[in-house]
Structure 1
Amino acid sequence: MFFVIVFLFSLTTIAQASLGDGTLKIGSRGPDVVELQTKLNSVGFDVGTADGIFGNMTKQSVINFQRENSLVGDGIVGPLTVKTLNSTYIQKQSPKNVDSIIATAKQYLGVKYQWGGTTPQTGFDCSGYVSYVFSQNGISLPRVSRDQYTVGNQVAFADLQAGDLVFFSFAGNGIVSHVGIYLGEGQFINASSSKGVTVYEIGSYWKSVYVGARRVL
């Protein structure tokens, strides 16, 4: 039991880290590596699946990115590489993507809920739906909601904009267990276990389980 508690605590600590807090290299693991991989994929440096494991493919993509941006191509992700990657990632995103994301999201209204589902043919779970919608617009996101909560930039509730990812904790313990896409005007769209893809108001219940938001556009 002691080791389980230590392990869970370490996972919480890792999840709170953000890209740039430390050096990443071969052997690094965790949500910060997922964010690195997701951003590299988004700016055209393919690492394959964003699995949170810094392996040889990720290292080579880092080297390629560094060389293209006149950095030392050592495959080690330090502050300068992170700063350059974040800047490139932001520039890559276009405001027109917001309208496209929202249109794509609404296209699947009524699609059934399916645990582990990632396509409209099989049905969606919450994170499968979000990752699918964004992938249809050329934006790679991690598969799982907790990992999706590590990418992009944190957004205050008062500053929410259409296209932002909104996250919730059904257990009320701050651990992300649900995600949706903010539509504006206090509404978000999500794959609900009871109704499938549907739109909800962020009313008192949703505010009570709200964890935070991330902007990836």
Structure 2
Amino acid sequence: MADAALGDRTLKQGMRHSDVKELQTILKHKGFYKSKIDGIYGKGTASSVRSFQVKYRLTVDGITGKNTVRALKGSASSKVAAAKSTVKSTAVVSNAKKYIGVPYKWGGTSRKGFDCSGFLYTAFKESGRSIPRTVSSLYTKGKRVSSPVPGDVVFFSTYKKGASHAGIYVGSGKFIHASSSQGITISALSNSYWKPKYLGAKRI
């Protein structure tokens, strides 16, 4: 991505510079600039910059100063981070599914058997992510989400008050977890047993 190459100079209407061409390229990539990339900071470029500034709550002056450049680079970094997060979440689900059928075992963290937190710990670890070993500790982490996506962790209150069971959301209203009666299996959040025990989901 070209964002990192954008210089630190202030760019404004009337200027002609290679940095302006770079700015136009970045804005076009983000969907703010529709005209020819010519290195000329004209009315069209200034208008595109103002549109960007409005969206990112910056001073709307059509001038590309340090704050605007920082936002241009930061927005790109956020997209990259989001993309990486999606890849990791997909990996968590894939790693979790390969253990379907493995029996339940209290304190287990291997193919010989898993308990619910040991299963999550292993699936996340194999995806390059470290999480707490217990459900109660895991419940204090991450960001609460109202609509989970694959890779989010769903929590339940079962044998004691508070979060005592957890699984990984796999989509379509279902989650994969270590069931004490079935081992690693996929269940529906709408299941008559799990629905009333559901505490919510978090993005870890």
Which band: TM-score by shorter chain?
0.5 to 0.7
Question: Which residue number in structure 1 is paired with residue 109 of structure 2?
Answer: 118
Paired residues of 1:113 and 1:125 also in contact (CA < 8 A): yes
Question: Which residue number in structure 2 is paired with residue 154 of structure 1?
Answer: 144
Greater CA drift, 192-201 or 205-214? 205-214
Instruction: Decide which of 122, 139, 142 is 2:132's aligned counterpart.
Output: 142
Question: Which residue number in structure 2 is paired with residue 102 of structure 1?
Answer: 93
Q: TM-score, normalised by structure 2?
A: 0.57
Greater CA drift, 204-213 or 176-185? 204-213
Query: Partners in 1 of 2:153 and 2:85 — Cα distance?
Result: 16
Cα displacement (A) at 1:201: 0.9
Structure 2 segments unaligned to the other structure (5+ residues):
1-76
Cα displacement (A) at 1:101: 1.2
Query: Partners in 2 of 1:106 and 1:169 — Cα distance?
Result: 23
1:112-162 alpha-carbon deviations (Å, 9 max, x no partner): 100000112x31000000010000010000000011111111111xx1111
Structure 1 segments unaligned to the other structure (5+ residues):
1-86
Query: Partners in 1 of 2:81 and 2:90 — Cα distance?
Result: 17
Question: Which residue number in structure 1 is paired with residue 188 of structure 2?
Answer: 201
Cα displacement (A) at 1:94: 2.4
| Segments of 4+ moved more than 6 angstroms | none
Query: Partners in 2 of 1:150 and 1:188 — Cα distance?
Result: 20
Cα displacement (A) at 1:98: 2.0
Question: Which residue number in structure 2 is paired with residue 184 of structure 1?
Answer: 171
Query: Partners in 1 of 2:143 and 2:98 — Cα distance?
Result: 26
Instruction: Decide which of 141, 153, 178 is 1:165's aligned counterpart.
Output: 153
Which amino acid is 1:147 matched to?
S
Which amino acid is 1:201 matched to?
A
**SS of 2:193 mapped into structure 1:** helix
Cα displacement (A) at 1:205: 2.5
1:127 aligns with 2:117: yes
Equivalent pairs counted in the alignment come to 125
**SS of 1:100 mapped into structure 2:** helix
**SS of 1:163 mapped into structure 2:** coil
Q: Over aligned residues, Cα RMSD in angstroms?
A: 2.1
1:212 aligns with 2:200: yes
Query: Partners in 2 of 1:183 and 1:147 — Cα distance?
Result: 22
Query: Partners in 2 of 1:108 and 1:171 — Cα distance?
Result: 24
Question: Which residue number in structure 1 is paired with residue 13 of structure 2?
Answer: none
**SS of 1:205 mapped into structure 2:** coil
Cα displacement (A) at 1:172: 6.7
Q: TM-score, normalised by structure 1?
A: 0.54
Paired residues of 1:112 and 1:195 also in contact (CA < 8 A): yes
Query: Partners in 2 of 1:205 and 1:115 — Cα distance?
Result: 21
